[in-house]
């Protein structure tokens, strides 16, 4: 005799989440004017980096076609590609800082007691801001020193190479400052790509 399988009802209770997951997502989104301005700057920086990446790919393709098909390598393509790599990286790093995609030792911070967590997170953002400040300062010095020299391939000042450091450094300081204010207010900075 075949009898249908009988299963015992499964008891489900409330789903428990760890305090780490709850704390990370229970903060309201930061909504100051600074946050809105930083979100726009970050999104524009991300879009410029994407456009730069597309132009970089096209420049490399022009170089490959010129070299292997026409046997006449354009001299400007390599210099342009190097210039674009600098700016794509600079913008990507700055956006990564705002969207908390940098190495912030998050796993270590999550293991700390709640009382220390806020202090360590603020310290991390302050250290990142200091790094950005040094990068902007040193980049500005090199930009001024090299501005009079022209890049023979592109015909633009060589100081433009170092201007990428200034832009990234200033944005890193701004975005780190935004994170510190949000942490002090008990809010969370939402990534610009949301």
Q: Is pLDDT above 50 for 124?
A: yes
3-state secondary structure of 2: coil
* Residue 19 pLDDT class (50, 70, 90 cuts): very low
* Residue 7 pLDDT class (50, 70, 90 cuts): low
State mean pLDDT over 166-190: 92
Measure the CA–CA gap between 109 and 106, rounded to whole angstroms: 5
Q: Is pLDDT above 90 for 4?
A: no
Long-range contacts of range 129-133, CB-CB < 8 Å, 24 or more positions apart? 129/172, 129/173, 129/176, 129/177, 129/180, 131/172, 132/97, 132/168, 132/169, 132/170, 132/171, 132/172, 132/173, 132/176, 133/169, 133/173
pLDDT at residue 28, rounded to an integer = 76
Q: Is 122 exposed, middle or buried (0-12, 13-18, 19+ CB in 10 A)?
A: middle
| DSSP assignment of 67-90 | HHTSS---SHHHHHHHHHHHHHHH
Domain layout of the chain by residue ranges: 30-184
Largest Cα span, the chain: 96
3-state secondary structure of 29: strand
Q: Is pLDDT above 50 for 21?
A: no
Model pLDDT for residues 135-176, shown as the tens digit of each residue: 999 999 999 999 999 988 888 999 999 999 999 999 999 999
pLDDT at residue 103, rounded to an integer = 58
Measure the CA–CA gap between 25 and 11, rounded to whole angstroms: 27
Q: Is pLDDT above 60 for 12?
A: no
State mean pLDDT over 32-42: 89
Of 78, 69, 83, 75, whose CA–CA distance to 161 is shortest? 83
* Residue 8 pLDDT class (50, 70, 90 cuts): low
Model pLDDT for residues 44-103, shown as the tens digit of each residue: 999 999 999 999 999 999 999 998 888 888 888 989 999 999 999 999 999 988 887 655
Q: Is pLDDT above 60 for 2?
A: no
Is residue 162 within 8 Å of residue 143, measured between CB atoms?
Answer: yes
pLDDT at residue 120, rounded to an integer = 86
| 188 DSSP assignment | B
Is residue 91 within 8 Å of residue 46, measured between CB atoms?
Answer: yes
Centroid of chain to Cα 170: 13
């Amino acid at each position: 005799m075949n009898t249908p399988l009988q299963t015992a009802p499964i008891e489900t209770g409330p789903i428990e989440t760890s305090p780490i997951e709850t704390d990370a997502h229970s903060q309201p989104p930061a909504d100051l004017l600074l946050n809105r301005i930083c979100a726009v700057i970050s999104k524009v920086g991300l879009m410029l980096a994407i456009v730069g990446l597309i132009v970089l790919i096209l420049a490399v393709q022009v170089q490959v076609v010129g070299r292997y098909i026409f046997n006449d390598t354009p001299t400007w393509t390599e210099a342009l590609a190097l210039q674009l790599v600098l700016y794509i990286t600079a913008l990507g790093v700055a956006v990564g800082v705002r969207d908390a995609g940098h190495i912030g030792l998050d796993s270590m911070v999550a293991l700390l007691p709640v009382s220390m967590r806020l202090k360590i997170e603020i310290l991390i953002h302050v250290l990142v801001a200091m790094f950005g400040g040094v990068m902007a300062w040193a980049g500005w010095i090199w930009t001024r020193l090299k501005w009079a020299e022209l890049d023979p391939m592109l015909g633009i000042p060589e100081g433009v190479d170092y201007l990428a450091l200034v832009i990234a450094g200033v944005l890193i300081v701004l975005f780190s400052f935004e994170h510190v204010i949000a942490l002090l207010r008990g809010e969370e900075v939402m990534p610009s790509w949301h």
